[in-house]
């Protein structure tokens, strides 16, 4: 049990569905590497496409998928002298993965508002990266990993156990971790919630500590080493679990006394008192609208600082969205205060 999983499941972030599709994709890739049935490769590639359509960061899943293919090809190479099918199988696998992985992404981009998709998915992020203040990504990694050190310890121990027992499928999960780390290391602007994509691959590696239980005939030094690592990892996780839960207590046990939630509840109460059910409202923290059971104009569903600094919340955008939704109540306690258009918008509101 990881508190981070609970937090991520409640978060309104694209990382959550991306992580769900990505986890299924890696599971299907593992089935393909183990059983050699190409339909599992097709399923894995389709799931990678679904994850990528959720968020482009999922493109990192190509590495674990390629790792599964390499593991399978290694088995084919050992038999190729007998069946002469090694090279042809590799070509068919590559074509299967390419078609199933690329066609849905390209089709969705071409058929569903391509200009709007380019603007929001590509142009916006390029602009945000160019204007955002450079962050110390290593410090953000350290912050995230400190939240659940028990899971980190179990993941490391699981990888070592898998190596001791020659469980090659663990390379797929390891490649998943490496791909995510390399992708996020230079990502700008990086926020701690982006790193939730590391939770699932670390959990998969952590599960490998139980490999000795499923390895018949294991004995001697390898059994002793694997068993010691398994027990040590479980003890370490048990020791660190209270700290991880304490860090997440305001998320796991919502309370009006939470230093993060209390101000939002007061603001939501004000919003509820000054608007009617069914009214659209403008807020620069959408959690307040959720707590007050109010809708926001679709164009203002993301009023983050990143979108502000990237110039995607101009005065004309604010006025058009407010007018089109017939908004009567506006509450701006946070992000929009950093927007140069905010003063003019407030003046327009009168």
pLDDT at 5: 63
Write down the mean pLDDT value for the chain.
82
The pTM of the full predicted model, rounded to 2 decimals, is 0.78
- Provide the pLDDT confidence category of residue 315 given band limits of 50, 70 and 90: confident
What is the distance of C-alpha 171 from the center of its chain?
20
pLDDT in tens, 100-152: 999 999 999 999 988 888 888 888 888 877 766 667 888 888 888 888 888 88
Asked whether residue 338 carries a pLDDT value surpassing 70, the answer given is no
The torsion region of residue 334 among left (phi > 0), alpha (psi -120 to 50) and beta comes to alpha
Tell me the mean pLDDT in the region 64-71. 93
Q: Above 50 in pLDDT, residue 2?
A: yes
Q: How far apart are CA 128 and CA 139, in angstroms?
A: 20
Phi then psi for residue 330, to 5 deg, are -130, 135
Q: For the residues 77-95, what does the mean pLDDT come to?
A: 67
pLDDT at 252: 46
What pLDDT, on the 0 to 100 scale, is given for residue 253?
47
Peptide bond into 177 cis (omega under 30): no
Mean pLDDT of 316-325: 88
Whether pLDDT at 63 is above 80: yes
Reply yes or no: is the peptide bond before residue 42 cis, omega within 30 of 0: no
Cβ burial, residue 38 (10 Å; 0-12/13-18/19+): middle
Q: CA-to-CA distance for 306 and 304, rounded, in angstroms?
A: 5
pLDDT tens track for 185-194:
888 888 877 8
Of 49-63, 160-174, 295-309, the one with minimum mean pLDDT is 295-309
- pLDDT at position 81, please? 45
Q: How confident is the model at residue 79 (pLDDT cuts 50, 70, 90)?
A: low
* 46-60, 216-230, 294-308, 309-323: the lowest-pLDDT one: 216-230
pLDDT at 77 over 70: no
Q: In sequence order, which residues have a C-beta less than 8 Å from that of residue 105 and are 6 or more positions away?
A: 49, 52, 53
Among 248, 256, 322, 247, which Cα is nearest to 283's? 322
- What's the residue count for the chain? 350
Alpha helices in 248-282 (DSSP H): 249-252, 261-273
Rounded mean pLDDT of 303-322?
81
**Looking at residues 36-56, what average pLDDT do you find?**
93
């Amino acid at each position: 049990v990881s508190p981070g999983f609970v937090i991520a499941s409640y978060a309104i972030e694209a990382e959550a569905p991306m992580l769900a599709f990505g986890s299924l994709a890696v599971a299907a890739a593992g089935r393909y590497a183990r059983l050699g049935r190409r339909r599992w490769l097709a399923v894995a590639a389709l799931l990678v496409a679904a994850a990528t359509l959720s968020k482009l960061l999922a493109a990192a899943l190509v590495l674990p998928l390629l790792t599964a293919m390499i593991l399978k090809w290694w088995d084919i190479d050992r038999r190729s002298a007998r069946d002469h099918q090694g090279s042809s199988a590799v070509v068919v696998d590559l074509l299967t993965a390419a078609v199933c992985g690329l066609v849905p992404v390209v089709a969705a981009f071409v058929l569903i508002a391509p200009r709007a998709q380019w603007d929001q998915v590509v142009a916006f992020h390029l602009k945000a990266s160019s204007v955002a203040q450079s962050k110390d990504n290593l410090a953000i990694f350290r912050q995230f990993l400190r939240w659940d050190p028990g899971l980190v310890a179990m993941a490391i121990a699981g990888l070592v156990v898998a190596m001791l027992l020659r469980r090659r499928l663990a390379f797929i999960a390891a490649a998943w971790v490496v791909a995510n780390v390399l992708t996020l290391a230079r990502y700008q602007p990086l926020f701690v919630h982006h790193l939730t994509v590391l939770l699932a691959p670390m959990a998969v590696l952590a599960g490998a500590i139980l490999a000795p239980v499923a390895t018949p005939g294991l004995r001697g030094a390898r059994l002793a080493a694997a068993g010691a690592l398994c027990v040590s990892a479980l003890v370490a996780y048990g020791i660190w679990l209270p700290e991880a839960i304490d860090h997440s207590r305001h998320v796991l046990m919502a309370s009006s006394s939470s230093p993060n939630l209390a101000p939002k509840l007061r603001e939501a109460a004000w919003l509820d008192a000054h608007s009617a059910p069914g009214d659209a409202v403008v807020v620069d923290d959408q959690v307040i609208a959720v707590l007050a059971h109010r809708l926001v104009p679709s164009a203002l569903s993301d009023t983050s600082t990143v979108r502000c600094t990237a110039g995607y919340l101009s005065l004309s955008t604010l006025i058009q969205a407010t007018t089109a939704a017939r908004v009567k109540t506006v509450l701006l306690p946070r992000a929009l205060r950093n927007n140069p258009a905010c003063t003019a918008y407030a003046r327009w509101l009168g």
